[in-house]
Structure 1
């Protein structure tokens, strides 16, 4: 069944108390509206977003991930409110699904349930123990009689526990008929889409309730609700991965990007953070390690290790307090306390404690290339650009530059000097 989807995202989001638009607030590594669009595109090829506040920034962010999104601008000055948002919008299909831009937990399954509802007008509702400021829904045999906005509700109506989620499905021809008749004669002086219900019923349209999960349809309006949504989304992500075969130790303590990919048998220890489009395959990530937009295959990392973006680890061991950036490591051991940036290191190479690649000269980044079966002693500085060929030994404490040929020993240390009794002379003890 073809259906158009429009997402209302024009609000100012003042309760978020942020210079960033509400729908751009990050959840599991992506903007809030990303999660809604992902589910919407699963059921429709006609997706529109209504914008106003920071519309160019939001449009730019959306276009990074989604093509063929139509954008409309709400005239908030003259037509505020949910009905006002649809004044300039025209759906492609005979049925329209109206979503809110602050519902990042909504799922494809629920959208399909709304899409398939047998009614001229459908309202997603839920029963709540704490209805707060939600609009109240008056029902009779699952037929919606009316929806009262909280600001306009009487004391008796405020006692109703069935709430309006703000998500609707409606026949496009009915919307076209009732939208011009909606007025702003209410406490907020806004044009409410809820008023379309009474107008639709006057046309003998059937208006049905569709019961949904309250948490899934929760609106995210402030930083506390953002944290609640983050927790719920993380639980959903990690549950899916665990059912896929990933082992999590204390899963609630870790953060996994919604774009991260896991393959094979993986094990994630506590307090791990995996960001961006990272790929983890048949690997173990130990406690308190951070991985950013990197690939880890048949390897182990940590504890307390950090992969900055563009790292690729294959058959590699990275130990505690090792930081890598734009590093391609294949069959490498780097046990502890090292920085490996802008480098390529090949099979059988051992990187000693305290080794660093000096990759930045203050103006440009330079590359370090290390061959196979190289032994790098502790406290070595690799001053890029530098190339170390296969089967080389770098003596501990060396500063390496240029090229070191295959099979060589490289040693570069200052001449040893001992001044007898210098301590006593310096401090006047003799």
Structure 2
């Protein structure tokens, strides 16, 4: 069935106490809106329409950053959910498939759940996503007769008997697009909130002899975010789910509760993740790699057999080939490191290419920035870079070349050559003793004077 996603993202989110639109607050380094869009994207929708309001330009940018084809419409006044969905009507003129209404602040509805709704729509005119609530609180209640959904009653309009029902409305609705907008036309705002409720289309549909039903999901999928504490709870829920999925897929997490994952983190089977590792956006770790404790990775790729850390930082553009070793207190940025190369200690490698089986000694720095421009460093295959070498880019060290420890390399080094750049060592016998005596006497005079 053809599908159009309508994602409601117009709310200001007053309880967030923020200038940022609510749907742009992040869980696992990604805006709430991106999570919602990703759930629906697996259905391969023909249209993705985001209904924005507060901060519409920011919402548009975020939506189109995830999906360049996403269409953004603006709800100038927030008059209720039915009014919000109606803003998408002009975009879907002539569309004969399913319209699926999602919420930008409800990020965790699974794709499998949406597929169940899609399947149910083949036998019903309207399908609603419901859940059994541990604490129904102020959720709308689903009034069921067998498999038939008769109506949805908002909490503010519900009787005590209706409030005792625990089957609650998530807000997610599936309906053929033309019928959806036809039903919305009949919605009024004669209710306690004086809003145009999308939920009213169920009663209208039933009054017209149309069928409606509810598909259910675990309550955790319907978690909405309205405050900073909700945001923290959502992040915690995401991490628990994502860690469990990795372990199910064959990844070892030595202390799962200490590993922080991004929405798009990919880790291959038989990899090992030690405690206190943070994965920022855009990280892929292939099978059999080891990420050691207290490392931070973002925008990078680690191939099979790689070892990273402890206390390493991989920044965007770091590309590690198979069996590369990045050791403690090493930072890599925008650099390609070939198979079997090692950067084991206390080094910064930025804007560089390192050849296969090269060895970069402790304290090496690629001096890539001149205050205005960034420059590239090339280290050839099997090269040996001595400890505390400064490579002043742009510079090229050939295959099999070596630099002496403590060297400042400002010119290219040809293949198999040894490059040394040191001031000669000068030794003055007895001078250290004399200097200490002078300094000690000076200190004593200063103390007497104070």
Matches of residues 391-430 of structure 1 in structure 2 within 5 Å? 391-405=400-414, 406-418=416-428, 419-420=431-432, 421-428=434-441
Matches of residues 85-164 of structure 1 in structure 2 within 5 Å? 85-90=84-89, 91=92, 92-117=95-120, 118-164=123-169
CA contact (8 A) 2:407 2:421 kept: yes
Matched, 1:184 2:189: yes
Equivalent residue, structure 2, for 1:313 = 320
Which deviates the most, 387-396 or 116-125? 387-396
Displacement of 1:136? 2.1
Matched, 1:229 2:239: no
Secondary structure of the residue aligned to 2:381 is coil
In structure 2, C-alpha distance between the alignment counterparts of 1:172 and 1:363, rounded to whole Å: 54
Displacement of 1:286? 0.5
Provide Cα deviations, 1:307-334, integer angstroms capped at 9, x if missing partner: 1111112232111111111122223222
Equivalent residue, structure 1, for 2:291 = 285
In structure 2, C-alpha distance between the alignment counterparts of 1:385 and 1:143, rounded to whole Å: 71
Which deviates the most, 151-160 or 281-290? 151-160
CA contact (8 A) 1:398 1:413 kept: no
Equivalent residue, structure 2, for 1:76 = 77
Which deviates the most, 127-136 or 407-416? 407-416
Matches of residues 244-393 of structure 1 in structure 2 within 5 Å? 244-263=249-268, 265-281=270-286, 282-297=288-303, 298-314=305-321, 315-330=323-338, 331-393=340-402
Provide Cα deviations, 1:152-194, integer angstroms capped at 9, x if missing partner: 3344433322211111223445434432232222222211112
**Count, aligned residues:** 428
Q: TM-score, structure 2 length as denominator?
A: 0.88
CA contact (8 A) 2:261 2:279 kept: yes
Provide Cα deviations, 1:254-306, integer angstroms capped at 9, x if missing partner: 12223233345321111112222222123111011111111212321111101
Which deviates the most, 403-412 or 199-208? 403-412
CA contact (8 A) 2:350 2:366 kept: yes
Structure 1 unaligned blocks of 5 or more: none
CA contact (8 A) 2:96 2:178 kept: no
Secondary structure of the residue aligned to 2:437 is helix
1:133/1:401 CA distance change after superposition, 3 Å: same
Structure 2 unaligned blocks of 5 or more: 445-450
Secondary structure of the residue aligned to 1:256 is coil
1:264/1:216 CA distance change after superposition, 3 Å: closer
Secondary structure of the residue aligned to 2:114 is helix
Displacement of 1:209? 2.4
Secondary structure of the residue aligned to 2:192 is coil
CA contact (8 A) 1:317 1:332 kept: yes
Equivalent residue, structure 1, for 2:447 = none
Greater helix content? 2
CA contact (8 A) 2:4 2:47 kept: yes
Greater strand content? 1
Matched, 1:18 2:27: no
Secondary structure of the residue aligned to 1:288 is coil
In structure 2, C-alpha distance between the alignment counterparts of 1:426 and 1:67, rounded to whole Å: 68
In structure 2, C-alpha distance between the alignment counterparts of 1:398 and 1:85, rounded to whole Å: 65
In structure 1, C-alpha distance between the alignment counterparts of 2:310 and 2:97, rounded to whole Å: 56
